[in-house]
Amino acid sequence: MAVTLADVAARAQVSSATVSRVLSGNYPVSEATRARVLRAVDELDYVLNGPASALAAATSDLVGILVNDIADPFFGIIASAVQSEIGGGQRGGSGEKLAVVCNTGGSPERELTYLTLLQRQRAAAVVLTGGAVEGPEHAAAVTAKLGRLAAAGTRVVLCGRPPAGEEPASAAVTLAFDNRGGAQRLTEHLLALGHRRIGYVTGPADRTTTRHRLEGHRAALATAGLLAGAEELTVHGSYDRASGYDAALELLRRRPDLTAIAAANDTIALGVCAALRDRGLRIPQDVSVAGFDDLPFSADAVPALTTVRLPLQAAGARAGRLAMGREATPPGGVATIRSDLMARASTAPPPEKA
Amino acid sequence: MAVTLADVAARAQVSSATVSRVLSGNYPVSEATRARVLRAVDELDYVLNGPASALAAATSDLVGILVNDIADPFFGIIASAVQSEIGGGQRGGSGEKLAVVCNTGGSPERELTYLTLLQRQRAAAVVLTGGAVEGPEHAAAVTAKLGRLAAAGTRVVLCGRPPAGEEPASAAVTLAFDNRGGAQRLTEHLLALGHRRIGYVTGPADRTTTRHRLEGHRAALATAGLLAGAEELTVHGSYDRASGYDAALELLRRRPDLTAIAAANDTIALGVCAALRDRGLRIPQDVSVAGFDDLPFSADAVPALTTVRLPLQAAGARAGRLAMGREATPPGGVATIRSDLMARASTAPPPEKA
DNA sequence: CTGTTAGCGCCTTCAC
DNA sequence: GTGAAGGCGCTAACAG
């Protein structure tokens, strides 16, 4: 039904081996026959059969990018950067890779399923982005799966999640985000402004990102001798706006005298802001608010959101290059991406009366 | 090197055909041998070879979702919905499809490249989301490519773009968005409030979405007899925040007396708001602002953004079902998705002095 | 219900 | 520089 290599060979009056050589380009072929073959390809509108090619060559041009939530710009920005380095459109010739993003929805099972599907396809590389779920058995399953992928020749890159497995030489190259340090600096900023009762709104407790950011926050509190009562001032939810909204109301109920709320990401922070506004509280005069990630909309919020900037675009691009083998592995296989405090208008000293 | 079907067969003491049948599940196998095979699979940690399977069966489990900008929530939301219907994680058994999103960056060449790559892989289905680029030769190329994909058995679904090709019976199932009608109702809303000088900020001129929304806007103006000067009040840019910011300043330069600005999407509208604020203009007291799409952040903006709601989630889900053949094709192969005006706080009557 | 037998379309030694 | 031939791992008829 579809036109095959043999059809092209017949039309160009050469053997199918020659056609294959012309197309893959990594073998000497006379200019004359090359032209003839190319013309036949064009006339017949031939398209390489990927599966057959992958079967024979034992490799494929598929690269998988796993994200927790494709509708969240945090992941969209990273995925976009990864993909721009991988290709799927820049050249017409070789090195053509199909970069493809898979949405796990934050579910461990789906993550594993996608990994298996990618393994089935003999993917050339896999990039896992964002925090991991910390269930002990699941973590082990993922580590094992990644090990098998690596063993089968698939390049594995982690971007924004901590190194997998305990071994010093993990199978995966890792770009870790400095979540702990960033969160700590953010809370220090709040403390320096004079805040003493700081609410904290975060995501699911079983995610590495959640844990690390919370640890940074607590570390800053500990240094200031404010660890007592921290538990009461912490609310877990999911990483979305609605969750931030509800959590802010809950915090206000628990501690009506709080003067600041730090959120584990910008999207939550937006929900917090909305809740405060609905309660008639002014930002930052009555309550200061801070986020994390510095997504594009954060600078545009009213007031502009104080947050911690993560170079998502740059990190994604680097992950892409790593996945393509176009950049050297960092020493020890792990590089940590720095985060920067962006102090803006949503944070200020607490009200005088406090 | 990797463990194959034959290995499993040997261990389970059956033929490889039996193993294949157990795994695909669409053939009667005795419970006893099935269990034996499954155990062998497990013990050997066997993973199906996708390319080999696809080659033999002449189909693959890959479904491609093409988006113009993966970092834009508009596409993220649609892609997420499509993917949730396709799977890649719900069941463990059959019907397992690898839904995969490809970021074209709005480039016609990359779109074509991805289509070819997907064709190579013998994709089960392809979903194209968002507006198309209107270059005549490119449109023809895409239509031709889609025709070939469909001919090869790939299901083609368009979501948020107009039907491809002129033929009544196109190869693709289409879910078109009511961009024209929505834009028209939005501008009518502005006119009803009393605005007479309405700026319009939109995206690249060669996109179908841009054209249809602009046409709707102009249609409303025409009915009100305000078409003269519409050209001067229109600025083209790209579909992002920065573009909206710049365009708003440009409009203010051209017509300092305008009383409203409509944007071709919410992201642009946000940029417009930022520019107006920076110029010391109040929204909506001095200038009304409206967007399009009703993305999640629009309701949270300050003031809440008047916009046109498109049921992105529902449309994406439907596209996913269509791609899986789990929903009947609409009559004529085309369904139009309604849009709804969401009048919120960012629009109000123009200032008295006007 | 299960085994046997052909390929699917391409890549890749190996000869020429 | 080019052709011939075998096999990658799996599925899909056929038999039995």
Q: What is the pLDDT of residue A93?
A: 40
pLDDT value at A231 more than 60:
yes
- Mean pLDDT, residues B78-107 taken together: 78
- CATH topology of B1-56 equal to that of B179-310? no
Q: What is the pLDDT of residue A26?
A: 82
pLDDT value at A243 more than 80:
yes
CA dist A232 and A205 (Å) reads 15
Residue B225's CB: how many other CB atoms inside 10 A?
A: 7
Residue B219 token pair: 């249609």
Helix axes B5-12, B31-44, angle to 10 degrees: 120
User: Which site among B44, B47, B63 would you substitute to test the A interface, given the most A Cβ atoms closer than 10 Å to its Cβ?
Assistant: B47
Q: What is the pLDDT of residue A90?
A: 43
Q: What is the pLDDT of residue A214?
A: 98
Taking CB atoms and an 8 Å limit, are B50 and A116 in contact across chains?
no
- Mean pLDDT, residues B288-312 taken together: 94
Residue nearest to nucleotide C3 (CA to C1'): B15
**Tokens 């973590």 — which residue?**
A139
- Please tell me the distance in Å from B61's CA to the nearest CA on chain A: 9
Q: Which range, of A62-76, A84-98, A285-299, B54-68, averages the lowest pLDDT? A: A84-98
Taking CB atoms and an 8 Å limit, are B55 and A60 in contact across chains?
no
Q: Which range, of A124-128, A229-233, B92-96, B264-268, averages the lowest pLDDT? A: B92-96
pLDDT value at B308 more than 60:
yes
Cut 0.75: pTM above it: yes
Q: Which residues 1-60 on B are within 7 A of strand D at the CB atom?
A: 1-2, 4-6, 16-17, 20, 23-24, 48-49, 52-53, 55-57
- Please tell me the distance in Å from A221's CA to the nearest CA on chain B: 31
Identify whether the C-beta of residue B43 lies closer than 8 Å to the C-beta of residue B11: yes
pLDDT band, very low/low/confident/very high, at A251 (cuts 50, 70, 90): very high
Q: What is the pLDDT of residue B111?
A: 94
pLDDT digits (tens, 9 = 90+) for A5-59: 999 999 999 999 999 999 988 888 999 999 999 999 999 999 999 999 999 998 8
Fold for the domain defined by A1-56: 434 Repressor (Amino-terminal Domain) (1.10.260)
Q: Which residues of B touch A103 (CB under 8 A)?
A: 79-80, 83-84, 88, 99, 101
CA dist B178 and B209 (Å) reads 10
pLDDT value at B80 more than 90:
yes
Distance from residue A265's CA to nucleotide C9's C1', rounded to whole Å: 50
What's phi and psi for A48, nearest 5 deg?
-50, 140
Domain residue extents for chain A: 1-56, 179-310
Listed in sequence order, the residues at least 6 apart from A318 whose beta carbon sits closer than 8 Å to its beta carbon are: A159, A175, A327, A335
> Which among A1, A98, A114 has CB closest to B117?
A98
Identify whether the C-beta of residue A224 lies closer than 8 Å to the C-beta of residue A303: no
Chain C nucleotides reached by a protein CB under 7 Å:
1-5, 7-13
Q: What is the pLDDT of residue B87?
A: 74
Q: Which residues lie across from B99 on neighbouring strands?
A: B63
pLDDT band, very low/low/confident/very high, at A96 (cuts 50, 70, 90): low
CA dist B338 and B329 (Å) reads 17
pLDDT digits (tens, 9 = 90+) for A294-331: 998 898 888 999 999 999 999 999 999 999 999 999 99
Q: What is the pLDDT of residue B88?
A: 57
**Is the CB of residue B242 less than 8 Å away from at least one CB of chain A?**
no
Q: How far apart are the first and last CA of chain B?
A: 79
Q: What is the pLDDT of residue B170?
A: 65
Q: What is the pLDDT of residue B251?
A: 98
> Which among B83, B120, B148 has CB closest to A50?
B120
Q: Which residues of A300-326 are buried (b: 16+ CB within 10 A; e: fewer)?
A: bbbbebbbbbbbbeebbbbbbbbbbee
pLDDT value at B168 more than 60:
no
Q: What is the pLDDT of residue A300?
A: 83
Of the two residues B18 and A297, the one the predictor is more confident about is: B18
Q: Which range, of A79-88, B200-209, B335-344, averages the lowest pLDDT? A: A79-88
Residue A38 token pair: 């190319």
What's phi and psi for A262, nearest 5 deg?
-105, 135
Q: What is the pLDDT of residue A94?
A: 43
CA dist A241 and A245 (Å) reads 6
Superfamily, domain B179-310: Response regulator (3.40.50.2300)
> Which among B104, B121, B271 has CB closest to A50?
B121
pLDDT band, very low/low/confident/very high, at B352 (cuts 50, 70, 90): confident
DSSP H helices, chain A, are 5-12, 16-24, 31-44, 50-57, 73-86, 108-120, 136-151, 179-192, 208-223, 241-254, 266-278, 312-323
Taking CB atoms and an 8 Å limit, are B84 and A105 in contact across chains?
yes
What is the overall mean pLDDT for chain B?
93
Residue B195 token pair: 């605005």
Identify whether the C-beta of residue A290 lies closer than 8 Å to the C-beta of residue A260: yes
**Is the CB of residue B33 less than 8 Å away from at least one CB of chain A?**
no
pLDDT value at B72 more than 70:
yes
Interface A–B counts its CB contacts (< 8 A) at 179
pLDDT digits (tens, 9 = 90+) for A133-155: 998 889 999 999 999 999 988 99
Q: What is the pLDDT of residue A87?
A: 74
A193 contact to strand D (CB, 7 A limit): no
> Which among B103, B117, B274 has CB closest to A83?
B103
Q: Which residues lie across from B156 on neighbouring strands?
A: B126
Nearest nucleotide, CA B4 to C1': D9
Q: What is the pLDDT of residue B300?
A: 82
pLDDT band, very low/low/confident/very high, at B1 (cuts 50, 70, 90): low
Of the two residues B90 and A245, the one the predictor is more confident about is: A245
- Mean pLDDT, residues B97-103 taken together: 90
Residue type (1 letter), B47: V
CA dist A38 and A44 (Å) reads 10
Nearest CA in chain A to B46: A120
CA dist A99 and B103 (Å) reads 8
pLDDT band, very low/low/confident/very high, at B302 (cuts 50, 70, 90): confident
Taking CB atoms and an 8 Å limit, are B47 and A71 in contact across chains?
no
Q: Which residues of B touch A53 (CB under 8 A)?
A: 51, 120
A129 contact to strand D (CB, 7 A limit): no
Q: What is the pLDDT of residue A95?
A: 56
> Which among B2, B71, B88 has CB closest to A102?
B88
pLDDT value at B179 more than 80:
yes
